[in-house]
A and B are shown apart, each in its own frame.
Chain A
């Protein structure tokens, strides 16, 4: 009986240690679990596949280093697909550190695509505070909201920005979002006002709140949720990266949590009679 009572009060440091080992070991030795692509991720992939070469897409980097492990792999995979399809990327950020995240993703991807030119195939417009206010401004007058790129160069100098006055000439919009401001605000303006397709990538925690927007009205065309969403996308574009490796670690961590939940419940049921007796 004592062992069952111990099941109810496991020192959390033991839990932490097992989680540490469960996450670290698969990152070193790949376990190679299978992955299935879900409908929401497939929709995002298909959205880009259907765009004509040369189409400009808007990607907003609305996250910071704390959520980089989950969202950066999505950013890299999306950029890889976009450059493969010869789409042109206009990047913005509603979070201050989104600019750095964008630069890092571009630096990673541009090694693989040496023909991509800044200003022609890609531009980083930088960060603008204000969230919804900024998006509203962009909808009315893109050029006055972003008169220069992140480096301070006037956007008139860049061929990729030719003719962009609002969201009319944007093929689609993708927000990589870790919170607020982010995906929700983009959906409200880009889809609800301009009728342009919007897709998103969020953390696994935020994904359930954004799922209602994946509906018949296609407020969101699709959604990449967490590391699994990023891993599925890497599978679709056939370029396994950090997300694919990370999924093994996440799987083992989930198994450990389930194990402790089971242990806790075994202890609970085994000692229930004793507790009921004490109560009476």
Chain B
């Protein structure tokens, strides 16, 4: 019974959503929107679970003095500071519980939450994203070897696109007359991105779409039960 009820709910709701996609008449037209709204509400409450988990895991590591335990204190302190600043003084758009004093405003220039967001969080996010540039270089160096005809083709395409998508491409082939304009590196790069690349992307998207349909049907029909913890 413990397993039957969720399976029945899954089948009923899944079938209903599929059918409602084709029926504009009430009450089917609003069904998927309502259910999506319910999901949002539930996921809003679920955020509390996540935060509790975060606290619990970090506090356990601190109490056991796990390796590098001071960093877990920093994590909890950072989390708490942001929450307290947001609740007490609010953000630029939303007021907090307390009004911000002139002294604080003169010191930070903006509210404390916005200050930390703009000068700490934004820069940390951008730093993590910038790691991609370095890792891209090391991964390309390792991966783009002409081991076979296919990998050679990949290598040539990658070099052409890398040159064509920057100003180097325009500089290197800018002298070519318009009658031979198709040899401009930016145009070659655009051609590669627009035709072979798009064809490949579309094929992957179509197959992934079919995979989603197959997977969804298995879940709706109750054939696939791993998401419930069963086999």
Chain A residues in the interface with B (C-beta under 8 A)? 10, 12, 15-16, 19-20, 23, 33-36, 38-39, 64-69, 99-100, 103, 126, 129-130, 132-133, 136-137, 140, 150-152, 204, 207-209, 211-212, 226, 228, 231, 247-248, 250-251, 253-258, 260-261, 263-265, 268-269
Contacts and interface: CB of A to CB of B under 8 A. Distances in A.
Nearest to A272: B147
Contact of B167 (A38, A64, A66, A248): A248
Interface residues of B, number: 52
B150 to A, nearest CB: 15
A71 B228 CA distance: 40
A34 B36 contact: no
B167 A265 contact: no
A255 B168 contact: yes
Given A38-B190, A152-B93, A265 B146 contact: yes
Main secondary structure of the interface of B (DSSP, over half): helix
Nearest to B167: A33
B40 to A, nearest CB: 5
B145 A250 contact: no
B165 A204 contact: yes
A250 B166 CA distance: 7
| A65, A253, A265 — most chain B CB neighbours (10 Å) | A65
B125 A15 contact: no
9 contacts: A23-B133, A36-B170, A65-B125, A103-B92, A133-B33, A211-B194, A256-B137, A264-B145, A265-B145
Contacts of A36: 170, 174, 184, 186
Nearest to B165: A228
Interface string B163-193: 1011110110010000000001010001001
A211 B93 contact: no
Given A251-B167, A260-B140, 4 more contacts: A151-B93, A207-B193, A260-B137, A261-B144
Main secondary structure of the interface of A (DSSP, over half): helix
Contacts of B197: 208, 211
Interface in B70-97: 92-94
Nearest to B202: A212
B93 A66 contact: no
Nearest to A136: B33
